[in-house]
Amino acid sequence: GQQVMQIPQYQHVQEGEDFTTYCNSSTTLSNIQWYKQRPGGHPVFLIQLVKSGEVKKQKRLTFQFGEAKKNSSLHITATQTTDVGTYFCAGTSGGSYIPTFGRGTSLIVHP
């Protein structure tokens, strides 16, 4: 079945440093979604990428979808303590509406 790998599992950064999490799928994806889960909270939808090579920005967050639609990344510029949480990617493929989630990357920002 489809597998979605996400690295790193954890990332400690000093406030102001950049952060990147990477997502790789074993199959070509129809689309990829990114979610953020704050400590003690639930996953909240951030964005969906559909097109090959697509790049989208949300303020300090930049999302990329690979040309082959098998990988994606989330980059945060100049992290803030409010960025703390676990970032999940979730990919769908084969006509299914059910996404396969990566294990997530937990971001810890030290002030």
Partner 1 sequence: KAGVTQTPRYLIKTRGQQVTLSCSPISGHRSVSWYQQTPGQGLQFLFEYFSETQRNKGNFPGRFSGRQFSNSRSEMNVSTLELGDSALYLCASRAPNQETQYFGPGTRLLVL
DSSP state of 99: P
With b for 16 or more beta-carbon neighbours within 10 A and e for fewer, the 19-31 pattern comes to bebbbbbeeebeb
Query: Structure tokens of 18?
Result: 């950049």
Site for partner 1 (CB under 8 A): which residue of 90, 105, 107, 109?
90
The answer to the question of residue 94 lying near partner 1 (CB under 8 A) is: no
Determine, following the binding rule CB under 8 A, whether residue 43 of this chain makes contact with partner 1.
yes
Tell me the closest approach of the beta carbon of residue 104 to partner 1, in angstroms: 6
DSSP secondary-structure letter at 55? Answer: E
Q: List beta partners, residue 90.
A: 33, 101
Q: How many residues bind partner 1 (CB under 8 A)?
A: 22
Out of 12, 38, 57, 103, which residue is the one contacting partner 1 (CB under 8 A)? 103
Which residue lies nearer to partner 1 by CB, 30 or 77?
A: 30
